[in-house]
Amino acid sequence: MEKKTSDIIHADDLSNGVGTKLSQFLQSFKSSDDDLIWSEQYYYWKIKQNPAGSGLVSLATSENNIVSSVSITPKLIWHRGKKIAGGEIGDTYTDKLFQRQGLFATLINEIKMRAHTSDYELIYGVPNEQSRPGYEKKCDFLSHPHFHLLSCIYLLNTPKIAANKKPGGFNQLLRFISPILNRFLHTLHFFWRFLSWTSGIKVKTIHSVDESYDLFWEKYKGQDDLLLIRDKAYLNFRFFKHPLAKYRFYEARKGNVLLGYLVSTIHQVHGRKDIFIADWFYNKKRPLAFFALLHRALKDGMMQKTGLFSTWVSNSSSDKWLLFLSGFIVRGKQPVIFHKNTLGIDILKNRDRWHFTPADSDNV
């Protein structure tokens, strides 16, 4: 194949309509039935208006058209009692006509060096299985065989889900067992809701967070070795100022005592409405608070007649057992990669427990 010419540019300032061009380029890789997850406003939000700092964008262009892209979104991370500057690498797409010409590795290595020059201490990503080998073989990233995310689903309406799938043995089985499965899940759902109700835990939706969330964060940030800083500034930015996604934010309290929160969002996937559990954080000595939050979200999902719930949870987290006890099952694995600097290697070597939720990735 003849190698096509392209230029590498820095586009951190998103000037001259770059935000619009980039979002159109990325959206071209998605199905027309899927929700819009990129826009000019979205890029200004995560790259320029981010309370964690200014992000980085590198592009390959040919004849004034974007043909390959990568970005790093800044994150403030709490790691073993210390605040560190981190970033998520993503948006790595390349036009079909320019693939297998080294643009993927060139852009990632270029933006990675700029990030470390800008004092990013940790760079992580959640690539799909197609792009992960390129990160690891060509760009000095690594993933640990014992550290990954579990992709979990909760089947709310199995006949509807099976009907939207192509015919096959699994879907025929799903349609056959759906009456029994639905009855079991509803029984389990009402059991946890009843326990939550008898314990006096109250769950409600809110539209902004107050100073009590700063106090809650300071009190419970040490429950895990590694996690994004979830203070008032982050939560308001991430879930109440997002230009595209609409979130439902639940908080759990007993009396006036805050016990935790959970966030959900609806995704349009191949013509079906699914609900994604985007984030949660709670006092782990009060697991019933998590059940109360989760099953309030499940109740609302049932009323909206959605297809299924899905989420990610770290395989090292005790939260996976709470999801299993609620009726979630594992559908697959999602790797997490780290750049092989000193901190990235130490995190994987020490098997640090990361409280990782889907909202740690900005495209959720």
Residues 210 and 261 in one domain: yes
Average pLDDT of 101-115? Answer: 93
Of the residues 142, 171, 206, the one at which a domain ends: 142
Residues 117 and 247 in one domain: no
C-alpha to C-alpha distance for 216 and 211, rounded to whole angstroms: 9
Residues 172 and 107 in one domain: no
Averaging pLDDT over each range in 34-48, 145-159, 171-185, 323-337, which range is the top one? 323-337
Gyration radius of the chain over CA positions: 21
Residues 14 and 74 in one domain: yes
C-alpha to C-alpha distance for 351 and 314, rounded to whole angstroms: 12
Of the residues 84, 108, 142, the one at which a domain ends: 142
Number of independent structural domains in the chain: 2
Residues 34 and 132 in one domain: yes
Residues 121 and 215 in one domain: no
Asked if the structure places residue 342 within a domain, the reply is: no
For tokens 């099952």, name the residue: 329
The per-residue pLDDT for range 146-170, each reduced to its tens digit, is 778 999 998 766 545 555 555 555 5
Asked if the structure places residue 44 within a domain, the reply is: yes
Q: Under 8 Å CB-to-CB from 47, ≥6 apart: which residues?
A: 12, 14, 54, 55, 56, 57, 71, 73
Average pLDDT of the chain is: 88
pLDDT at 338 > cutoff 70: yes
Which bin fits 328, alpha (ψ -120 to 50), beta or left (φ > 0)?
A: beta
Average pLDDT of 56-70? Answer: 93
CATH number of the CATH domain containing 297: 3.40.630.30
The per-residue pLDDT for range 121-132, each reduced to its tens digit, is 999 999 887 888
Residues 34 and 173 in one domain: no
Averaging pLDDT over each range in 158-162, 253-257, 351-355, 360-364, which range is the top one? 253-257
Q: Which amino acid is at 246?
A: K
Average pLDDT of 190-207? Answer: 93
Asked if the structure places residue 350 within a domain, the reply is: no
237 — pLDDT class (breaks 50, 70, 90): very high
pLDDT at 213 > cutoff 60: yes
Domain that holds residue 158: 150-333
Q: Which amino acid is at 132?
A: R
The per-residue pLDDT for range 246-291, each reduced to its tens digit, is 999 999 999 999 999 999 998 876 667 788 999 999 999 999 999 9
What confidence score (pLDDT) does residue 185 get?
A: 84
Residues 25 and 159 in one domain: no
**Greater model confidence, 167 or 318:** 318
Residues 30 and 99 in one domain: yes
222 — pLDDT class (breaks 50, 70, 90): very high
Average pLDDT of 213-231? Answer: 96
What confidence score (pLDDT) does residue 174 get?
A: 62
C-alpha to C-alpha distance for 12 and 44, rounded to whole angstroms: 10
Asked if the structure places residue 354 within a domain, the reply is: no
